[in-house]
Structures are given as structure tokens and as C-alpha cells.
Chains A and B, each alone.
Chain A
Amino acid sequence: MNTNLNTSSSLKFNDIGMIFPDGTEALRNISFELSKGEFVTIVGPSGCGKSTLLKIASGLLEPTNGSVEVDRERLGYVFQDATLLPWRTVSKNVELLAELHGTDSHERKRLVKESIELVGLEGFENHYPKSLSGGMKMRCSLARSLTLKPPVFLFDEPFGAVDEITREHLNEETQQLFKQEGFAGLFITHSISEAVFMSTKVLVMSARPGRIVAEFDIPFEYPRKPDLRFSADFAELCGKVSVELRGSHS
């Protein structure tokens, strides 16, 4: 797989197809690219292969067709679960990736402090995951990836398990981070309002085999305020995405 990048895009899918060994066709003809300053969200029904696409982007899975162009050295990746190591405190969890990358300990401490501040977990550095709420675990997981200063950040439906209010807060924080850190973001969800609220572009994926069936540019200015969700334009866009999503589902 080619990891050289042409200058404009940070992540590029070239005609990705994925057929699992049991014959299930998960993805077909997926091609799109995203660049620095773009936050693309894929919405689609459950089991349509969204997560598979992220696994292919990260190299955890090899596609059966097509190729991916991305720099995998410093890839941000937040999983559906926070995947925190329960025996490590918040700050040790945040430190993990820098440790795996062999960053020296002084620099690691600095990165950890910075990332913990970015996600608002100051004061919880010495807490173990078992004493954190779902939302805080996810913040910790975000902070862990932020230590890498990732040019590309993959989000695999990270806020699916937290309550509505926390989810909205996390959406607001994520789009702030996106603006502040300037990564290229690829986000997976099945919440339409989450997709529209955070993204520069929303892609609608069909049921299996997953294909991109619609594309919406989201024009709202950043930083986006929470009450954007109550505006008519927002509702209209959500409606359009919803229609496409329903169409793709049948």
C-alpha cells in the first residue's frame, strides 16, 4: 500500500473494496479524499462497513481491492470503546502512545499535560479508569491520540455509548479541537445531527455492501455554537441527509 502522499490530501481512498473470507462483501468502490482542514463524517446504517473502512485506513485490515494513501506514523484513532488500560491512571494512559513511539520521558510529560488540558481532564490525572464516567473515559482516549499531534484523526463512532447531553458536549469539544489542532478528521457515526454539527462534509453510506451514495457540504462557520442545532438551516440539512440515509437503507 502506498504511503507516499501527494501534497493536497492527507488521506485518500482509491476504489476500496472489501470482501471478507466468509464471502461477505462489506465495501464496494469507495473513493474519496480528505485534506487538512476538512472534517468528513460518514453516516450509514449499522453494519454497512463504516468501521471496516477505518480499519482499512489505519492498516488494521488489508482491503481486497484498491489502496489507501495516508501517513500511518502519527495516526489518531479513537475506537468505539475508550480502550483505556485499567491498570494505568489517566495520565499514564494518555502517555501510552508516546511511550510506544519511543518519545523521551521529558517530552512525554509535556505532551501528556498539554493533551489533558485540551480535553479538560485536569485534576483527574491520578484517577484510574474505573472511577471515570463514560464521557471522561472518551476524553481520556481523545487525549491519548492528541499526544501524537496527528495530522489525520480517525473516529470510530466514539460517542455512541454516552448519554445525549454528554454527547453534545463532546461534539462541541471535538469541533473545537479540530479547529485548534488542524487535523484532517474522518468521523463515523449513525447520528445525523452529530454528523452535521461537527463536519465540513457528510458522506452517506448505503447498507451492505457499503458505497458512498450521497455527499453534503456543510457550510456553517466554525466555531459552531451549541444553539446551531436549533436553527432552520441545520434542521433542513439534517432532513436532507436523513432522506438519503432512508433511501440507502431500503
Chain B
Amino acid sequence: MSTVAENEEKTSKAIPGQPSRLSRYVAAFVPPVILGAAVIGLWYYITFGVLAEKRRFLLRPIHSVIDIGFLDGDNRSESLNALWSSTEVALIGLSISIGLGFVLAILMSQAKFLERAIFPYMVTLQAIPILAIVPLISFWFGTGQTSRVVVCVIISLFPIIVNTLFGLQSAEKGMHDLFTLHHANRFTRLRKLMFPAALPAIFAGLRISAGLSVIGAIVGDFFFGKGEAGIGQMLKKHANRLQGEELLACVILSSALGVMVFWIFGVIQNKAVGRWHEANSATT
């Protein structure tokens, strides 16, 4: 018996002709670096080549954005405080979404009638333009942190529910049959079959929701515009005062926050499912 297994082992080891680690890194990093350089080039061209001097406030050159937006001590501490405030809101909102989303998805996965009952309302909640309920939210919850968190939750809840539910329902019928044959109860089936099978989809949802929670935190802050200043309020203030450098610095910070949460969840996803998930191994 072992001879067959050994032969099979040989063929499953590293395939010759595979590109080396270094050349794979080069292939991964060179294209975005080239594109990034081209964008910076275009940026300078627009600032100095297209815009007349008195209209140059519309797009400040990149070095002065760095100089004024990031290297100036006062501006920097103000922006970083705002960034922290928004991060805090996004994390609280995302945590609530994850908790609430998991509970609702698990309930829906356990009984078809619950899925039928809850799902339409989730779609409705998702479909409401956030602008339309901002006045209502400030009416109910005031204009402080609570309201920003509520906006975050409303924006980021849906992808978690949909992906978790889809994941929980993704285990193959044959696997369910196996658990049925061996008299697994509901809880065992959830824990040993449905939940692990759902992990790749759950992480896909988490990455989307993490990005959305950052948007929610900034949008909420932008509209309510009161209380501890977050990135949203900074954006509004700098835009009103035509402070191009500071405004661009805040835009860069907020997108960096979005990229960072996306990346963090990507890393967690790799740790959790990278070893076994088919689709995952290709991207790592």
C-alpha cells in the first residue's frame, strides 16, 4: 500500500519550473510602484502644468502636502487625534456589527422561517441611503459618539450577515449526511461543520465591513459635526477654509485607515484559513 502513497507524495512536492520567491516579490511589487510613480508624476503635472498659479490651491503639490499636512507639528497632532477618534468609532461600530451579525446569521441558519422573517428587513436597512436617516439618528441619539457608532453599524452590518449566512449554508450536502449518519446534534453540527465551513466567507464579509465601518465613522462625523473631532469634521473644516494641504493630508489618512483595517483582517484571515482553504493559498 505504501508504495502508491509514496509515489503520490513525490508528485505532490514542489513543481520544477516554479518562479523563485524573489521573482514573485518583484512581480508583485513592481507594477503598483510603477503606477504609483505615474500618478505622482501626473499630480505634479496638473499642479504646475495645468493649474494657473492662483488656482493652484485646488491641487497642492505632493511635497507641500507632506510638509504642511504631516510634518507641521500642530496640524499633525490635530489630524492624528481626529484619526484616533474615528478609529475608535469604527472599531466600536464594527465590533457591534460583528456580534449582532453573527447572532442574526446563526439564527437564520438554524431555521428557514427566521431567515424568511429577518432577511427582507436586513435588505431594507441596507437599501436606506445613509443620508436619509442621519437626521433621524441625530434626533434619537444626539450628535455625539453614539450616533456615529450607529451609522457605522448600519453601514457595516449587512455584509457580515450575508456572508456569514452564506458561509454557514455552504457546507456540502455529503458532509451534512455524514453528520446526520452519526447522530450529531444541532450544536455539534454548527461547531464542527457549519462554522468552520463558513470561515472563508465570514472573513470576506469582515474585510468589506471593516472598510465600510471606517467610511461610516467618517461620514457620521462629517454630518453630525459636533463633539470630539474626527476625520470627518477635519475634512469639512479644511475644505471650508480652502486649506488644500491639510485637506489632502486628511484624505490620505482616512484612506490609510481603511487600507489598514482591510489589511489587518486579511492577515487574520490568512492565519485562520490560509492553510486549508483552496482559494486562499493562491493569493498568499
Q: Identify the A interface with B (CB < 8 A).
A: 58-60, 72, 75, 77, 79-81, 83, 85-88, 96-97, 99-101, 119-124, 128-133, 135-136, 139, 166, 169, 173
Contact = CB atoms under 8 A, between A and B. Distances in A.
A60 B1 contact: no
Q: In terms of DSSP, what is the predominant structure of the interface of chain B?
A: helix
Interface of B: 1-2, 4-5, 8-9, 11-12, 172, 174-175, 177-184, 188, 192-193, 196-197, 199, 273, 275-278, 281
26 contacts: A60-B180, A72-B181, A77-B178, A79-B174, A81-B172, A81-B174, A83-B174, A83-B178, A85-B175, A85-B193, A86-B276, A86-B277, A87-B196, A87-B199, A87-B276, A96-B192, A100-B182, A100-B188, A120-B4, A123-B5, A124-B5, A129-B276, A130-B276, A130-B277, A132-B12, A133-B12
A59 B178 CA distance: 11
Nearest to B278: A130
Given A79-B178, A81-B174, A100-B183, A130 B281 contact: yes
Contacts of B172: 81, 83
B278 A135 contact: no
Nearest to B189: A100
A97 B182 CA distance: 7
Most chain A CB atoms below 10 A, which of B11, B181, B199, B278? B181
A132 B13 CA distance: 11
A99 B179 CA distance: 11
A170 B9 CA distance: 16
B275 A128 contact: yes
B244 to A, nearest CB: 50
B142 to A, nearest CB: 45
Nearest to B195: A87
Contacts, number: 79
A79 B179 CA distance: 13
B18 to A, nearest CB: 15
Contacts of B199: 87
Ranked nearest first, the 6 interchain pairs of A and B with the lowest CB-CB distance are A120-B1, A100-B182, A83-B174, A128-B276, A87-B196, A133-B8
Given A59-B181, A133-B11, A122 B2 contact: yes
Contacts of B277: 86-87, 130
A227 to B, nearest CB: 17
A75 B183 CA distance: 12
B178 A120 contact: no
Contacts of B1: 119-120, 169, 173
A131 B193 CA distance: 20
A77 B181 contact: yes
Given A80-B174, A123-B9, 4 more contacts: A101-B182, A120-B1, A130-B276, A136-B8
Nearest to A172: B1
A81 B174 CA distance: 8
A81 B278 CA distance: 17
B126 to A, nearest CB: 30
Nearest to A119: B1
A79 B177 contact: yes
A58 B181 contact: yes
Contact of B175 (A83, A131, A166, A169): A83
A147 to B, nearest CB: 11
Contacts of A121: 5
Contacts of A123: 5, 9
A101 to B, nearest CB: 6
A136 B83 CA distance: 52
Contacts of A60: 177, 180-181
Nearest to A100: B182
A58 B12 CA distance: 35
Given A60-B180, A81-B174, A87 B273 contact: yes
Contact of A136 (B5, B181, B183, B273): B5
Most chain B CB atoms below 10 A, which of A79, A87, A166, A173? A87
B174 A135 contact: no
Given A122-B2, A173-B1, A100 B179 contact: yes
Nearest to A169: B4
Contact of A100 (B177, B184, B273): B184
A58 to B, nearest CB: 6
Contacts of A130: 276-278, 281
Contact of A75 (B174, B177, B181, B278): B181
Contacts of A124: 5, 9
Nearest to A139: B5
A148 B93 CA distance: 48
Contacts of B276: 86-88, 128-130
A131 B181 contact: no
